[in-house]
Amino acid sequence: MNNFKKTTAIFWIIIIVGIVFRIALNGINYSSDAESFIIWAHYLTQHRLSDLYIFLPSGYLPYPPFYYYILWILGQIMNIFNIWSNHWLSLLIVKMPVFASDIGITVIVYKLSKKWYSDKAGLINATFYFLNPAVIYVTSVWGQIDSFISLIGLFSMVLLFNKKYLWSYVIFLFGCLTKLQILALFPLVAFLSLIKLKVSKLLIYSVLIVIATFLVFFPLLRDMGVLWVLKYFYNMPNQYPYTSVYAYNLWAPLGFLVSDKIKLLNLIDIRYAGLILFIITSIVIIRPLLKKSLNKLQMISFAGYLLFFAFAYFPTRIHSRYLIYSIAFFAPFFIQYPVVGVLLSFLMLSNLFLPNNDLLFKPVVNILNNPYTIFIYTVFAFWLFIYSLKKYLLNVYNK
């Protein structure tokens, strides 16, 4: 067997093992988030999209509309094959998009790693992502769709670098119309667009993006009206008006689920202070890319990792899961910075355990929620971010 066939075979073994883990963990515990996707998929087969935003089945505030079209398709499939009565299979079906997203991310990580390092690096980095306990927990056990956003973000960056501008913008738009957290990458998207495209092209693409947005929102605009839609989605970022939603971010030592409208030094709301810090950090991350020799996909990908890390650390209203987006962007560099990868995964897993209500893990959860532990983790997360930023900037100055 030649080296190419051997490497490819090992890669698909990694994929198969990862899929087996994900399927085996499906339904292993109760997840209200995963249940809500089943409820929404079933509801959308019988009602209009706009009805979902009024009825709020299962009591959850809905996402922006794009992912509901996917749930509608999944609901129709489950109708055709009469799957609703099989709860385990229904759970598995609604998780298929994120399982597929994990595979997509792993393929991208594998290909980039082979290009930047070696075949062996491709396999190691692919394993780091696809068999990462934090990633598997979020997608298979918790049943969240964060991998879908990670794939959209990573793929849109690859397309943008390869001058597939319109496709990149449309895919990035779909991410924004699924979960607003992908906007952490907006500074990078905006910067690359401004330096790579003429104003006339940007205007044309902007018009097309507006049209695509209108098409996605059309059912809501038709049934609810423009003012209702604008008001609803303007208020969406206020779902979690807290310093930290069980995440070891900068504001965690102030307490979890504490209002982020409190003043910092009696001068400014900490919600605004957090945004300012993220903006400043984004400038520090993006500024080196002004140098043409550094405007490479490798640097852009690492910048994406840092932006998602900064987003999960400096602003308020950060959920315990939000650091997960950084892992997909870091994965192609695991072979170069393995210690960072291990520590990043450890931090992510610790975040995930913070809101855990399982009695089995109660002693660990109590320790993780201890004020002294929270302070130590907050300092640790800051150190890990600064260490990663230092590696990035050293790479800049060594070019």
SS3 labels along 221-251 = HHHHCHHHHHHHHHHHHHHCCECEECCCCCC
Give CA separation, 116 vs 110, 126, 333, 342, in Å.
Answer: 10, 13, 9, 21
Q: What is the pLDDT of residue 17?
A: 98
pLDDT band at 397 (very low <50, low <70, confident <90, very high): low
Quote the pTM value.
0.95
Residue type, 393: L
Q: Mean pLDDT across the chain, nearest whole number?
A: 93
The answer to whether 159 touches 167, Cβ cutoff 8 Å, is yes
Cβ contacts of 263 within 8 Å, gap of 6 or more: 269, 270
Residues 278-304: tens digit of each pLDDT = 999 999 999 999 887 666 899 999 999
Q: Cα–Cα distance between 81 and 319 in angstroms, integer?
A: 36
The answer to whether 250 touches 270, Cβ cutoff 8 Å, is no
In a domain, 206, yes or no: no
In a domain, 306, yes or no: yes
In a domain, 380, yes or no: yes
Percentage of the chain lying above the pLDDT 90 cut: 81
Residue type, 95: K
Helices 226-235 and 199-224 meet at what angle, rounded to 10?
A: 110
**Residue 120 predicted with pLDDT over 80:** yes
Overall residue count recorded for the chain in this entry: 399
In a domain, 235, yes or no: no
In a domain, 69, yes or no: no
Residues 319-328: tens digit of each pLDDT = 999 999 999 9
In a domain, 58, yes or no: no
Q: Cα–Cα distance between 252 and 266 in angstroms, integer?
A: 19
Q: Read off the tokens for 16.
A: 């198969």
Q: How far apart are the first and last CA of the chain?
A: 39
Residues 85-118: tens digit of each pLDDT = 999 999 999 999 999 999 999 999 999 999 999 9
The answer to whether 135 touches 126, Cβ cutoff 8 Å, is no
- Residue span of the structural domain in which 349 resides: 3-30+86-197+240-397
Could you give phi then psi for residue 234, rounded to 5 degrees?
-70, -35
Residues 29-58: tens digit of each pLDDT = 888 888 989 999 999 999 999 888 887 644
16 class by beta-carbon count within 10 Å (0-12 exposed, 13-18 middle, 19+ buried): exposed
Q: Which residues pair with 249 in a beta bridge?
A: none
Q: Cα–Cα distance between 42 and 107 in angstroms, integer?
A: 31
pLDDT band at 361 (very low <50, low <70, confident <90, very high): confident
In a domain, 126, yes or no: yes
pLDDT band at 237 (very low <50, low <70, confident <90, very high): confident
Number of domains in the chain: 1
Q: What is the pLDDT of residue 61?
A: 62
Q: What is the pLDDT of residue 398?
A: 65
In a domain, 299, yes or no: yes
DSSP tag of 291: S
**Residue 349 predicted with pLDDT over 80:** yes
